[in-house]
Amino acid sequence: MQITIAQLNPIVGDIKGNAQRLIKEARRCHAQGCDLVIFSELYLVGYPPRDLLERRWFIDDVEAAIAELVRASAEFPGTGILFGAPTRTSRRIGAGLHNSAVLIEGGKLIAMRHKSLLPTYDVFDELRYFDPAEGVSPVEFKGATLGISICEDAWNDPALWPGQRLYMCEPISELAARGATVMLNLSASPFYAGKDRVRYDLIASHAKKHRVPFAYVNQVGGNDELILDGGSFLLDAQGRVVAECGHFAEATVSADTAAPGGQAACEPLEEIAAVHDALLLGLRDYLRKCGFTKAVVGLSGGIDSAVTCALAARALGAENVLGVTMPSMYSSEGSVSDSQALARNLGIRIEEVAIAGIYDAYVDAIRPLIPPPPGVTEENIQARIRGNILMAISNEHGHLVLSTGNKSELAVGYCTLYGDMSGGLAVLADVPKMMVYALAEYINRDGEIIPRATIEKAPSAELRPDQTDQDTLPPYPVLDAILELYVEEGLSSSEIAERGFDAQTVAWVVRAVNRNEYKRRQAAPGLKVTTKAFGTGRRMPIAARYEA
């Protein structure tokens, strides 16, 4: 069977536009003699549609679009079209929807198969919207027996997750037992660093175990916090790669399911390169899909703002990025000169707005309420002045403000509400500080873009004389290691200390993470690149009292 994997980037909610893309691709595949073209999970509505699924009118529009696609498929006799969409169930109890794969061909609805395993961990919330399939069965189509599954249905392989199975059934094994000769999985699988290797190992395990070719079709694109990286492929019955689409870009590839693989395995992505490219995709799509074309970044001369700005210039084009340096009485000479050097290297426009006079007027106005000596309050006022300037530029010129704080700072609250946290998108919110340094070196791999002085200087908020981050925080290598164990792995303070970390330092970090949940709840959306990002994937209470 000649199949085409269509790794496309739908827009959430744009049913009509997504359907038009589907028809265009189906027409092209039909002209090339393709037997079956496969699109991703929930392709028709984009992923994740969230509470749009609870709107009756939205599902009405989905049903109308499916009916129109069935009619349009009459133009392509002999070419099946398999795509993901929400469909109504026939039951009066439950959520009332299935997460479905819809197969059409020659003006007919051939089959629908529904997702069995509905994840509710991390960023997933599918039981809120969907009911599980009542059963699993393959589909006969053009001489092949198709084992159709949807994303999580393939993730319950006991060989991959020993002792950690979440579900009672194994849809892939059931499809194999019922005689499937080709496995097809429609996915919308969000990115995190290293997930490409996990996916390949998972699907290759199924192919080898059941001795059938396996086509894995993943969506690509940035949608809010989530980055869908694609990485679709077709494997032969030995788990070898027949064809693959690559990552972080739309692609289509056609191959015969009977063809032998010519490559033993998918090459794993290099971690920092993958994070870099994921951030570019997430940033570009966030602006494009929200209707923005330009961004503004506050430049401090530090590494976080430099990396954010470099990513923005690469993702959007230098002509669409404005840098603003806002020196105060505490700013070092490098705060401005390093920012100017960065702007020259990137080819972006840069403006300077000095804030010392604004700060003096601000403090004078509230001095009766904020008596001397100066302290954290005055430091935060400087950050909030800068945030207000950037938001004013956004209001006037329509630029989206990109906040520049990293995951390490956000974790322990080393950031100012309505100050450096102001913005429409937090590009580095899931990037630990040490990974920010690695990104800077990667950006400079072919020549200096981020000034060497920016990379080598001691990190500082420059809100008081001679200030450095390490006056307040543990060294970043130590902080990041503790945060990974606490936030991503979920270990307790005592378990982390048993790994060799100073118990007092661990206790401070854990307390800081816990008491700053209120700040993170008010932060701009942040692009997810690790296994556990703050935001939708980590739902902790604010008004609570607990010790980890």
Q: Catalytic positions, please?
A: 41, 115, 151
Q: Choose among 159, 166, 223, 169: nearest CA to 191.
A: 223
Cα 133 to Cα 114: distance, rounded to the nearest angstrom: 5
Query: Using alpha carbons only, what angle is made at residue 317 by residues 321 and 427, rounded to the nearest 5 degrees?
Result: 60
Cα 153 to Cα 133: distance, rounded to the nearest angstrom: 11
DSSP letters for 451-504: -HHHHHSPP---SSTT--GGGTS--HHHHHHHHIIIIIS---HHHHHTTT--HH
Q: Choose among 22, 25, 2, 3: nearest CA to 11.
A: 22
Decide: 521 and 534 in contact? Cβ < 8 Å: no
Decide: 520 and 407 in contact? Cβ < 8 Å: no
Determine how many CB atoms are found less than 10 A away from the CB of residue 158: 11
Q: List Cα–Cα distances, 11 to 6, 47, 278, in angstroms.
A: 15, 8, 17
SS3 call for 102: strand
Which tokens belong to 415? 């950031």
Cα 303 to Cα 454: distance, rounded to the nearest angstrom: 6
Cα 200 to Cα 267: distance, rounded to the nearest angstrom: 9
Give bridge partners of residue 234 from the DSSP assignment: 215, 243
Could you tell me how many residues make up the chain? 548
Decide: 139 and 174 in contact? Cβ < 8 Å: no
